[in-house]
Structure 1
């Protein structure tokens, strides 16, 4: 029998076997149902019986034209080089490279991930705050991409605080970097140029209630409530003030015979003249204004200028080093006078010994005597000249050098002896709870309690190789007992991925190494009697090994795995390999010898 006669006979048998089957509502012919690779997606379901809507017989190159004939918007994008399909080079290839059909009704035609999408390939590059907005904020949760408008007002109309009074061209004043502050608007075009503090003022501080027209341009129009003079100086504020600062007046106070120097130049006018300039000619002596500020309560007289000057009330010209027998050194020089002079100097002088003033500050509670100067200086109370390395038998190294004295010596005084073994201080810090003994120095040093462990795991029955070497100890030794956990993979790694389908207990080392769990190596052709050929190559293990058990017990016949896929439903027996090969289920090889 010739080849063509045999093929005709096969087609006749197949047609005869399928003839009683009812024609589905889609209207496909028997031959169409024979050759179709699967159902169309829901979006193309209406074309199920119209193959020529998307395909041209024996002309694959015509398929793109069929797609673009329906999707005219995409065709325009490709022709004009606009939108995503026109700008993204891979999108200018064949449509089916990205949009696969015949995957079933539930399959999606658009294989698209919003994560990491480069929006620059569209006609709207994401800049500023737009780059941080979730995709659904503009596109919603469905595939709405081409129909989204690009003008500001289309998205932000509901958030427009101006309620449309300033039009829809938001970009005139705002940018995508941030809705606030406003940039780009030229206020000088309104006839009122913004200078000084006006430039930094918020828009609504003048345009309250979104009022943009009919505002006065005189100072008093906005600042009448801020007028400290309450109108007594008139409404022409610009005579003395400028927009650089409300408190920066151009009035020359020296013309009154009392130049404003030092702190006086920074004082508010009302501080001396009272509210509304009620006191137009205040007295000029220090005590007349500063009697309430006199920390000496008048005990040092009324001639404040003998020690103080206008530059700073706290900066005195009194020379403590020269005029007393106690030169001020270190922190004493920056200490307030009343900190030592609790009583006026004429009543009682403070002590000149360290302990005389600092007895309450002595953390040793007198246990180290009263000669503070042996260890401390006036530069800093916490800076001690005591040398622990040379004056004791315990040099301070690592973290010990940064520890406070009382951390080890407590509050009983530095003269009390302290044990030098690690555990004497760190027993409470021992995460092993004493189970590894008291010799902490076997693994730890004083540089850092954590991260400087000297234990060599390679000297145990389980050297740390690959990924194991980078793991913190507690990943395996969570209970911190550091006892042996076993050396088999399954002692730490539960077989969650294969779930027992490759044998129990799991022999992880057969395929995996410690270098990388995912870099497995298993040669199915050499290690088993079932060589992987054709479509079997590249399958994941679970495609065949689905149930727990010994993999060697799986059958090697086609029907053992593909019984449910048999379109003949057993009509041609179970010896599938008589006609089929592993390179493709649809590739039929008639073996006349069988």
Structure 2
């Protein structure tokens, strides 16, 4: 018999170690490595068949026995795993690499995952989001289902929907989900930014925008209501878009006419400008003041300023300034504008010559051809007094009651007061003593009443031939007093002093009248017998004056020599001996 020695504790440890060393190569040949922590409950040689089928490499079908959520999505044709490219689990999820191995494989990295393979392309602001900003429990459509599948919300990417409202709050509170073109948020909004709603077309709404409405900020009509909601990363005020009253203008606008012109504003106004009246629609003739003439072209605001609904219009002065200062003249008759003017225009006035003939100054003669404003001139300071532009028609409007008692109220006295005491026919004095209204240049003055009666050629001479116009202070003056009455005062001495010794009684000048008369220049009164040293007798009486008195040129001009002349025969006839005894 064999005798056995009792085993010591050291021997037992050695035997145990040998058993483990011998058994380890056998297990390593059956399992390629430890499972991940997600599948660690399947670890062990007896549990291999939970995933693997004997004689087959594929494990996909067995995966779906546990991952029923993936199975359901594949059967429904939804999600990533329903596609052919992602049908084999082991292409992305590889096991037996140890407990800490990450089972989800991201070829390009998790943050670069291409969502378009899911039928949901990431664009705009979505591209800037971290994965878990969307893939979190708050956005899961049915959290209970995921819990039933034992999914960890901080790990799974399942459970989200693709419609905007699955992640974002609806700031319209469901008001815009009724129309076929408004079923989704993307009908109006893009992913770049929530505002502006670039896809929204107001023309497709029940209230197309025209005119000034196109420039109005949305919030002016669509007021906010309630607390703001979160859309993406921002708080958005809830604006009311539907229902929005818009059947009448007064749903948004105040009625400045307080109902006096009816509820339909568009009968008069257009959306381009509130102040622009639709002339084809509004009929002013239906009012108490039909617009005619120039009034038809006046803008509404010129009469209806500051919202005046019913401006006064009983008299022209209710709107227009008094162009003639009639009130200050205290002449009520002049305030009746219609007597002279019409709505066709302030000018020309309808005041006729017949009307003027009934005034205190009937027009006669040259006055009838004088422009009105030559007499009816605007008074100084008219523009300031009337509160109008100095260039306006009202600033130049006529003074209807100019002074007219004397001619000098309108006309300047060119005689500088010299004729004030002159009396005319009928003992008339002043300008009318000589002039009338027919012509200034045809005076009635009787020169015979002066100290120089006109006769002969003097009677035919123009006044200015003797009374030369002068100038004083830049104005023409025609003076009469102190005009010389001797011939030399007007006429040149063509004899160049030959008769200087023959002077007038007062010695003031040569006495031309001793030889000449006013009828013509010919020396009609000259008598060769008595007025010269050479009486004419015989043949001399028939000789022309110029034969002896020969004209010749002098420095002062042409002159006829009368004296001194020789009186001997030889001086004229020479000494040729002819005719001598």
TM band (smaller chain): 0.3 to 0.5
**Higher relative contact order, chain-length normalized (CA < 8 Å, sep 6+):** 2
Structure whose residues are more often helix by fraction: 1
Taking structure 2 as the reference length, the TM-score comes to: 0.36
Taking structure 1 as the reference length, the TM-score comes to: 0.36
